[in-house]
Amino acid sequence: MATLQKIRSKGPLLLIVIGLAMLAFILGDAWKIIRPNQGVQYIGSIDGKKVSAMDFQNELENYSEVVRFSSGLQDLTEEQNNQIKDEVWSVMVRRAILEKETDAIGLKVTDAEVRDVISKGTDPVLQNTPFNGSDGTFDVDYLKTFLAIYKDLDPSAMSVQDMRQYDAMYKYWLYIEDNIKSNLLYSKYISLVTAGLISNPVVAKDSYETRVMRSDVVMASIPYSQIADSTVSVTTADMKKVYADNKERLFNYSENRDIYYIDAAILPSDADRKALLSEVNEQTTQLIEADAETDFAALLRRVGSDITYSEVPRSAAVLPEDIVERLDSVGSDGVFGPYYNAADDTYNSFRILSKDMGYDSIQFSVIQIASGQEAEDVRISDSIVDALKKGGVFADIAAKYSQSGESNWLVSEAYEPASITGDNAVYLNKLNSMKKGEIANVRLSGGNLIIKVDDVRNKVDKYNIAIIKRQVEFSDETSNSVYNALSQFVAANKTLEDLKNNAENSDFRLLYYPGFESFSYNVGGVPRSHEALRWIFEANEGEVSRIFEAGQANDHLLVVAVDKIHPQGYRSIKDAAASISRLAINDKKFESLKNRFDGISSVADLRNASGVNIDTVQYVNFNNSAYVSSSASNEATIGPAVSRLSRDVLSKPIKGDNCIYVVQKISPDSYPTEFDAEAESARLNSISASQIGNSLLQELFFQAHIEDTRYKVF
> Which whole number is the average pLDDT over 290-317?
93
The better pLDDT of the pair 421, 693 is held by: 421
Are the beta carbons of 276 and 472 closer than 8 angstroms? yes
CATH of the domain at 327: 3.10.50.40
Please give the average per-residue pLDDT across 474-497, as a whole number: 96
Share of the chain above pLDDT 90, in %: 45
Q: What is the DSSP string of 606-643?
A: GTTSTT-EEEEEEEEETTSPEEETTTTEEETTHHHHHH
570 CB-contact burial (10 Å; exposed 0-12 / middle 13-18 / buried 19+): middle
> What's the pLDDT score for residue 465?
95
pLDDT for the residue 111: 92
Last residue of a domain, one of 471, 495, 521: 471
Strand runs (DSSP E) across 298-438, as ranges? 314-315, 335-341, 346-369, 408-411
Q: Evaluate whether residue 559 is within a structural domain.
A: yes
Q: Are residues 553 and 437 in the same domain?
A: no
Q: What is the pLDDT of residue 7?
A: 38
Percent of the chain with pLDDT over 70: 93
Residue 602 above 90 pLDDT?
Answer: no
Whether residues 397 and 307 share a domain: the answer is yes
Q: Over 60: is that where the pLDDT of 9 sits?
A: no
pLDDT at position 38: 47
Residue 13 binned pLDDT confidence (cut-offs 50, 70, 90): very low
Does residue 697 sit within a domain?
no
DSSP letters spanning 53-107: HHHHHHHHHHHHHHHHHHH--SS--HHHHHHHHHHHHHHHHHHHHHHHHHHHHT-
Inside any domain, residue 692: no
On whether both 545 and 637 belong to a single domain, the answer is: no
- Residues 160 and 191 placed together within one structural domain of the fold: yes
Are residues 275 and 263 part of one domain? no
Q: What is the model's pLDDT at position 518? A: 87
From the list 149, 144, 45, 153, the residue with the least C-alpha distance to 97 is: 45
Give the contacts of 104 (CB within 8 A, at least 6 positions apart): none
Q: Identify whether 352 is part of a domain.
A: yes
Banded model confidence at residue 4, pLDDT cuts 50, 70, 90? very low
With respect to residue 537, please indicate whether it lies within any of the assigned structural domains: yes
84, part of any domain:
yes
**From 287-291, 371-375, 483-487, 559-563, the region with the lowest mean pLDDT:** 371-375
Write down which residue in 535, 567, 599 finishes a domain. 567
Q: Cα 182 to chain center, whole Å?
A: 23
pLDDT grade for 454, boundaries at 50, 70 and 90: very high
Instruction: Write down the mean pLDDT value for the chain.
Output: 86
- Would you call 653 helix, strand, or coil by DSSP? coil
Q: Please give the C-alpha separations between residue 226 and each of 124, 469, 635, in angstroms, as whole numbers.
A: 54, 58, 18
The reported pLDDT for the residue numbered 394 is: 92
How many helices, marked H, and strands, marked E, lie in the chain? Answer: 22, 21
Question: Range with the lowest mean pLDDT among 269-273, 323-327, 612-616, 679-683?
Answer: 679-683
Which residues are bridge partners to 264 per DSSP?
Answer: 557
Measured distance CA(34)–CA(38) in Å, rounded? 9
Give residue 33's pLDDT. Answer: 30
- With a cut of 80, say whether residue 18 has pLDDT above it: no
Check if the beta carbon of residue 639 is closer than 8 Å to that of residue 651: no
Spatial distance between the Cα atoms of 277 and 255, rounded to a whole number of angstroms: 50
Domains identified in the chain, total number = 4
* Shared-domain flag, residues 586 and 637: yes
Q: Residue 275: which H helix or E strand, with range? A: helix 270-289
Residue 285 lies in a domain: yes
- pLDDT at position 472 is 96
Q: Is 694 among the domain residues?
A: no
In the structure, what pLDDT confidence band is assigned to residue 32 with cuts at 50, 70 and 90?
A: very low
Q: What is the CA radius of gyration of the chain?
A: 34
Render pLDDT for 337-375 as a digit per residue (tens, 0 to 9).
999 999 999 999 999 999 999 899 999 999 999 888 889
pLDDT for 30? 30
Strand ranges inside 472-555, DSSP E: 510-517, 548-550
Q: Are residue 40 and residue 176 in the same domain, yes or no?
A: yes
Same domain assignment for residues 461 and 401 = yes
Same domain, 238 and 261: no
Confidence category of residue 406, pLDDT binned at 50, 70, 90: confident
| Res. 26: pLDDT tops 90 | no
* 150: containing domain: 2-195+707-712
Verify that 632 and 510 share a domain, yes or no: no
Q: pLDDT digits over 234-287, tens only?
A: 999 999 999 999 988 888 878 899 999 999 999 999 999 999 999 999 999 999
Q: 30 by DSSP, 3-state: which?
A: helix
Q: Residue 697: which pLDDT band, with cuts at 50, 70 and 90?
A: confident
What is the C-alpha to C-alpha distance for residues 276 and 468, in angstroms, rounded to an integer? 12
Q: Is the dihedral of CA 155, 159, 164, 170 positive or negative?
A: negative
Given a cut of 70, whether residue 24 has pLDDT beyond it is: no
| pLDDT of amino acid 551 | 93
The 8 Å CB, 24+ separation contacts for 541-550 are 541/565, 542/495, 542/496, 544/490, 544/493, 544/494, 544/495, 544/496, 544/499, 546/490, 547/483, 547/486, 547/487, 547/490, 550/522, 550/523, 550/526
Residues 39 and 165 in one domain: yes
Q: Which pLDDT belongs to residue 610?
A: 73
Q: Are residues 239 and 129 in the same domain?
A: no
Where is the domain boundary, 508, 542, 567? 567
Closest CA to 434 of 363, 385, 368: 363
Residue 387 or residue 70, greater confidence: 387
- Poorest-confidence range of 558-567, 590-599, 603-612? 603-612
The predicted model gives 127-133 an average pLDDT of: 80
DSSP β-bridge partners for residue 660: 222, 655
Q: Which of 143-157, 192-206, 666-680, 692-706 has the highest average model confidence (pLDDT)?
A: 143-157
